[in-house]
């Protein structure tokens, strides 16, 4: 059956391109994905697959039940866009001003819908059931995963898998990791309140720009001097805003940034040390401050056996040149919530356009659309292998039989 499933994916590739490009032209921001949700619902209507909409917000869940007893395997894709102006010169450029799919979620949605369509055609031959989770609002905390889980999408699910089309990785490569795979992603905002005044009479002020610059320099010493070099953490300042005139020292400065960690204890330590440094620096200048730290998504922590199953599945797919266990990424993903509830794993499907690397969240972002085929086949193979977990011991010789 697997060969027939793969042949059907290959046959549907032109349809996948058409669907992905339609979605790319019609992106919607997190928590506002009403038309995209309607598109997904209409797709399931047309292939006669039962679904629920408005799950935990704008989410949708569809289910295909096979004719034979077995496990319930959940597959997840996200479908929100980003507040970025699409700068690409292509026929499928975003039609929504200031909004684009700059992270591949249009491809994720296309991939999962196509997998559902193919599995539907072979429903009578399937074991167990497959739950298709179409998640809204991955890009903006608190995200869509948690409310969808709270709404019951993982009830009776045995394993859960997902993929991200990844332009940091060449086409033809599948990557995942045992344990930590993507980092916890936190956000902070710091406002320093000083005393403004004339740029030519600085001694009468408490300059929040100078204080802020010192705070930034001091905060970086948490990474270099206060945590174990073998521990993993990132602290980055993303914005710094102050003043509006060249000859006026402003009375306040505001900065925002992110902290990335894997260890919850280190996450708490970073927050505590930041507060100490900010307070000490501001006190030394006689300034006050407001510091708001918001914990974001937890780290994506793959279950080891499921991660290995992904690698073994990918190795059996024509077109996959490498299937590797890799070091974790400091990017974040709310797929982490699914893995806290059920065993499973998340993986990257290489989607870099040859000789044209553009990072995620960039105005010129695009990906190699062939990657959708490899993502679909890997999800299919993992789903089928997961139905036979009692027979398999994740031994490569057994998995190839």
In this structure, what token pair is assigned to residue 348? 């990257």
In this prediction, residue 401 carries a pLDDT of 34
In this prediction, residue 388 carries a pLDDT of 81
In this structure, what token pair is assigned to residue 217? 């320099």
Active site residue 7: no
Nearest to 144 by CA among 28, 225, 12, 30: 30
Superfamily for the 2-181+299-399 domain: Zn peptidases (3.40.630.10)
- Dihedral of the alpha carbons of 336, 338, 343, 348, in degrees to the nearest 10: -50
How far is 282 from 324, CA to CA, in rounded Å?
A: 47
Instruction: Exactly one of 80, 158, 306, 333 is catalytic; name it.
Output: 80
> 31 burial class (0-12, 13-18, 19+ CB within 10 angstroms)?
middle
Instruction: Exactly one of 28, 86, 106, 138 is catalytic; name it.
Output: 138
Supply the mean pLDDT for the chain. Answer: 96
The tally of CA atoms less than 13 A away on the side-chain side of residue 390 is 4
The position carrying tokens 């009479």 is: 201
How far is 383 from 306, CA to CA, in rounded Å?
A: 11
Is the CB of residue 360 less than 8 Å from the CB of residue 333? no
Residue 15 is classified by DSSP as: H
In this structure, what token pair is assigned to residue 265? 């204890």
Predicted TM-score of the model (pTM): 0.93
Residues annotated within a binding site = 103, 105, 139, 164, 361
The position carrying tokens 């993903």 is: 333
Is the CB of residue 337 less than 8 Å from the CB of residue 183? no
Active site residue 86: no
Pairing between β-strand 173-176 and β-strand 344-352 as defined by DSSP bridges: antiparallel
In this prediction, residue 355 carries a pLDDT of 87
Is the CB of residue 208 less than 8 Å from the CB of residue 355? no
Bridge partners (DSSP) of residue 290 are 191
Tens-place pLDDT, residues 241-280: 999 999 999 999 999 999 999 999 999 999 999 999 999 9
CB atoms under 10 Å from CB of 370, counted, come to 16
| Helix (H) or strand (E) run with residue 24 in it | helix 13-25
Per-domain residue ranges of the chain:
2-181+299-399, 184-297
Please identify every stretch of the chain with a pLDDT value under 70, giving residue numbers as ranges: 390-401
User: 184-297: which CATH topology?
Assistant: Alpha-Beta Plaits (3.30.70)
Residues annotated within a binding site for Mn(2+) = 103, 105, 139, 164, 361
**Which residues, at least 6 apart from 188, have a Cβ–Cβ distance to it below 8 Å?**
256, 257, 258, 259, 274, 291, 292, 293, 294
């Amino acid at each position: 059956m697997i060969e027939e499933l793969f042949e059907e994916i290959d046959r549907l590739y032109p349809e996948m391109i058409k669907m992905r490009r339609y979605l790319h032209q019609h992106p919607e921001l997190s928590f506002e994905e009403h038309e995209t949700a309607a598109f997904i619902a209409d797709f399931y209507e047309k292939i006669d697959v039962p679904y629920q909409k408005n799950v935990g917000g704008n989410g949708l869940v569809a289910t295909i039940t096979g004719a034979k007893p077995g496990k319930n395997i959940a597959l997840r894709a996200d479908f929100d866009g980003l507040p970025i102006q699409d700068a690409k010169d292509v026929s499928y450029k975003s039609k929504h001003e200031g909004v684009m799919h700059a992270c591949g979620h249009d491809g994720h949605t296309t991939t999962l819908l196509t997998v559902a369509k193919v599995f539907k055609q072979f429903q009578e031959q399937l074991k167990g059931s497959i739950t298709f989770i179409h998640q809204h609002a991955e890009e903006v905390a608190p995200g869509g995963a948690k409310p969808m889980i709270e709404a019951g999408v993982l009830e009776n699910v045995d394993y859960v898998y997902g993929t991200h089309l990844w332009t940091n990785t060449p086409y033809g490569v599948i990557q995942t990791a045992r344990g930590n795979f993507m980092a916890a992603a936190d956000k902070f905002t710091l406002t320093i309140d000083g005393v403004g005044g004339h740029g030519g009479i600085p001694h009468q002020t408490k300059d929040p720009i100078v204080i802020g610059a010192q705070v930034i320099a001091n905060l970086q010493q948490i990474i270099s001097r206060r945590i174990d070099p073998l521990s993993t953490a990132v602290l980055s300042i993303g914005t710094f805003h102050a003043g509006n005139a060249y000859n006026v020292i402003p009375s306040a400065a505001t900065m925002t940034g992110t902290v990335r960690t894997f260890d919850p204890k280190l996450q708490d330590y970073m927050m505590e040390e930041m507060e100490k440094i900010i307070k000490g620096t501001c006190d030394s200048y006689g300034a006050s401050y407001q510091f708001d730290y918001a914990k974001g998504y937890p780290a994506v922590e793959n279950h080891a056996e499921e991660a290995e199953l992904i690698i073994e599945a990918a190795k059996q797919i024509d077109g996959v040149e490498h299937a590797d266990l890799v070091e974790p990424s400091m990017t974040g993903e709310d797929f982490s919530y699914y893995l806290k509830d059920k065993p499973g794993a998340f993986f990257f499907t290489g989607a870099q356009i040859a000789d044209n690397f553009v990072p995620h969240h960039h105005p010129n972002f695009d990906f190699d659309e062939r990657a959708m085929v490899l993502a679909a086949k890997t999800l299919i193979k993992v789903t089928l292998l997961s139905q036979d977990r009692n027979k398999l011991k994740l031994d490569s010789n057994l998995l190839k039989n």
